[in-house]
Structure 1
Amino acid sequence: MSADNEIQEERNQGEHYENWKQNVPLMYEICISHQNSWPSLTVTWLNEIEIDQNNNEVHKLIVATQTDGQEQEFINVLMIQFPKETDEEFDASVLNNLWKTQAVGKITQEQQIPVQYDINKIRQKPGSKFILAAQTSVGEISIYDISRHQKVMALKGQEREGYGLCWNPKNQNQLLSASYDKKIYYWDVGTGQLIKSYSFHQKEVEDVCWHPQDPNLFISCSDDRTFAICDIRTQQGMKIKQEAHSQEVNCIQFNQLDPKYFATGSNDAEAKMFDITKPEKQIYSFSNHEDAIYTLQWSPHKKNLLATGSVDSKIILWDYLKAGKHYEGELDKEGTPEIVFYHEGHRSKINDLSWNVNHKNLIASVEADKNMLQIWKIQTQLWMDDDNDDLIQSLI
Structure 2
Amino acid sequence: HLGTQGDDGGSWEGVSTGRLDKSQPLVCGHTAPVLDIEWCPHNDNIIASGSEDCTVMVWEVPDGGLVRPLTEPLVTLEGHSKRVGIVAWHPTAQNVLLSAGCDNAVLLWDVGSGQALVELRDLHPDTIHSVAWSHDGSRLCTSCRDRRVRVIEPRSGRVLAVSEKANPHEGSRPVRAVLLDDGKILTTGFSRMSERQVALWDPVRPRPLATQ
TM-score by length of 1: 0.45
Whether 1:63 and 2:1 are equivalent positions in the alignment is: no
The separation in 2 between residues aligned to 1:176 and 1:266, in whole angstroms, is 27
| Contact 2:90/2:133, CA 8 A, preserved across alignment | yes
Paired amino acid for 2:29: V
Give the secondary-structure state (helix, strand or coil) at the position aligned to 1:164.
Answer: strand
The separation in 1 between residues aligned to 2:141 and 2:201, in whole angstroms, is 12
Counterpart of 2:111 (choices 154, 167, 189) is: 189
| Contact 2:38/2:88, CA 8 A, preserved across alignment | yes
Residue in 1 aligned with 2:174?
A: 249
The separation in 2 between residues aligned to 1:162 and 1:131, in whole angstroms, is 18
Residue in 2 aligned with 1:121?
A: 36
Q: What are the superposed Cα offsets for residues 346-384 of structure 1, whole Å, 9 maximum, x if unpaired? A: xxxxxxxxxxxxxxxxxxxxxxxxxxxxxxxxxxxxxxx
Residue in 2 aligned with 1:281?
A: 207
Paired amino acid for 1:133: A
When residues 161 and 66 of structure 1 are mapped into structure 2, their CA distance, relative to the original with a 3 A threshold, is farther
Residue in 2 aligned with 1:224?
A: 146
The separation in 1 between residues aligned to 2:50 and 2:91, in whole angstroms, is 18
Paired amino acid for 1:138: D
Q: Displacement of 1:274 after TM fit?
A: 2.6
Higher CA-based Rg? 1
| Contact 1:274/1:281, CA 8 A, preserved across alignment | no
Paired amino acid for 1:115: G
Residue in 2 aligned with 1:77?
A: 14
Residue in 2 aligned with 1:174?
A: 96
Counterpart of 1:260 (choices 184, 189, 199) is: 184
Paired amino acid for 2:13: N
The separation in 1 between residues aligned to 2:44 and 2:146, in whole angstroms, is 36
Whether 1:112 and 2:26 are equivalent positions in the alignment is: yes
Q: Displacement of 1:131 after TM fit?
A: 0.9
Identity over aligned residues, as a percent? 18
TM-score by length of 2: 0.79
The separation in 2 between residues aligned to 1:66 and 1:153, in whole angstroms, is 23
**Structure 1 unaligned regions, length at least 5:** 1-59, 81-104, 287-396
Q: Displacement of 1:143 after TM fit?
A: 0.9
Q: Displacement of 1:195 after TM fit?
A: 1.4
| Contact 1:206/1:221, CA 8 A, preserved across alignment | yes
Q: Displacement of 1:259 after TM fit?
A: 5.7
The separation in 2 between residues aligned to 1:266 and 1:176, in whole angstroms, is 27
The separation in 1 between residues aligned to 2:191 and 2:29, in whole angstroms, is 31
| Contact 1:265/1:271, CA 8 A, preserved across alignment | yes
Q: Displacement of 1:172 after TM fit?
A: 2.6
Which deviates further from its counterpart, 160-169 or 262-271?
A: 262-271
The separation in 2 between residues aligned to 1:279 and 1:175, in whole angstroms, is 30
The separation in 1 between residues aligned to 2:44 and 2:15, in whole angstroms, is 14
Give the secondary-structure state (helix, strand or coil) at the position aligned to 1:126.
Answer: coil
Q: Looking at secondary structure, tell me which structure has more helix per residue.
A: 1
Paired amino acid for 1:201: H
Q: Displacement of 1:251 after TM fit?
A: 2.7
Counterpart of 1:240 (choices 161, 171, 181) is: 161
When residues 107 and 267 of structure 1 are mapped into structure 2, their CA distance, relative to the original with a 3 A threshold, is farther
The separation in 1 between residues aligned to 2:191 and 2:115, in whole angstroms, is 34
Tell me which of the two structures has the higher relative contact order, counting C-alpha pairs closer than 8 angstroms and 6 or more residues apart.
Answer: 1
| Contact 1:79/1:110, CA 8 A, preserved across alignment | no
Over the aligned positions, Cα root-mean-square deviation in angstroms equals: 2.6
